[in-house]
Amino acid sequence: MSAGFYVSPEQLMKDRADFARKGIARGRSVVVVQYADGVLFVAENQSNALHKISEIYDRIGFAAVGRYNEFENLRIAGVRLADLRGYSYDRSDVTGRGLANAYAQTLGTIFSSGGEKPYEVELFVAEVGVTPDLDQIYRLTYDGSVADIQGHAVMGGQAESAEGYLTDNYSPGLDLDAAIALAAKALGHDDTTPRTLTGAQLEVAVLDRTRSQPRKFKRISEAQVDAALAAG
């Protein structure tokens, strides 16, 4: 009986990370931007059925890039966890930080396991606060790493180009229309072949702190997006 090839742990982790990154880069980007009244999500997504942006709980939103079946399983698990915690204790006990930690544990365990492939996903988990300084945005990568985001961030696809555009053009306190226009320009930004995106190509949603109802998540219609792009 022949012995199997030895692969060092460092090389194994590198190969798994390269595999996940390549899968994520094949998808279209998602942008998150803090604006005056909350948190904006904008994704390049022409599908009306398969959403990249979703509601998790009253004040918590979720956005993802990568393999749809994998991040949809994570979304469903997050909704169930939030519902269970809110029902068992109190709705205020459901927080973006708690959800981000749960996702980090799941992704980290899967990435470190030798029995299954790593998830080809990256996630944003955001919670809108009563005031802008209480907003929370977390970015989670395929290996379970968590980053606390301030202002704006991009993941998936040509993230570096879009992030550079946002860094150069973002300013705090934008109104919603200006934030939508900025995010769309960032998604279409490319030094060689820039693109102009329309409302039909974008999926847009917000966590709006000014809404009177407990649920702060709201999808933005194509017509409203087009109006914002025309104004911007």
186: domain CATH number? 3.60.20.10
Residue 191 confidence (pLDDT): 66
Alpha-carbon gap, residue 223 to 211, rounded angstroms:
20
> Residue 64: is its pLDDT beyond 80?
yes
The DSSP letter of residue 3 is P
Alpha-carbon gap, residue 66 to 108, rounded angstroms:
16
Whether residue 194 is contained in a domain is answered as yes
**Domain boundaries, position 148:** 9-231
pLDDT band at 48 (very low <50, low <70, confident <90, very high): confident
Whether residue 74 is contained in a domain is answered as yes
Whether residue 4 is contained in a domain is answered as no
The stretch 64-72 carries a mean pLDDT of: 95
Residue 120 confidence (pLDDT): 95
The stretch 221-228 carries a mean pLDDT of: 96
Of 160, 121, 157, whose CA–CA distance to 139 is shortest?
A: 121
Whether residue 148 is contained in a domain is answered as yes
> Residue 127: is its pLDDT beyond 90?
yes
pLDDT band at 84 (very low <50, low <70, confident <90, very high): very high
> Residue 195: is its pLDDT beyond 70?
yes
Residue 3 confidence (pLDDT): 55
The stretch 109-119 carries a mean pLDDT of: 87
The contacts of residue 3 (CB under 8 Å, 6+ apart) are: none
> Residue 193: is its pLDDT beyond 90?
no
The stretch 197-202 carries a mean pLDDT of: 94
Alpha-carbon gap, residue 157 to 15, rounded angstroms:
20
Of 140, 28, 126, 119, whose CA–CA distance to 71 is shortest?
A: 119
Q: Quickly list H helices, 131-175.
A: 159-169
pLDDT band at 5 (very low <50, low <70, confident <90, very high): low
Q: CA-CA-CA-CA torsion for 26, 121, 197, 170, nearest 10 degrees? A: -120
Q: In whole numbers, what is the pLDDT of the chain averaged over residues?
A: 92
Alpha-carbon gap, residue 62 to 201, rounded angstroms:
19
CA–chain centroid gap for 114, Å, is 27
Alpha-carbon gap, residue 167 to 149, rounded angstroms:
13
For residue 13, give the amino acid letter: M
pLDDT (tens digit per residue) in 129-171: 999 999 999 999 999 999 999 999 999 888 889 999 999 999 9
Whether residue 3 is contained in a domain is answered as no
Helix, strand, coil percent content, the chain, rounded in steps of 5:
40, 25, 35
Number of domains in the chain: 1
What global pTM score does this model have?
Answer: 0.92
Percentage of residues of the chain with pLDDT beyond 90: 81
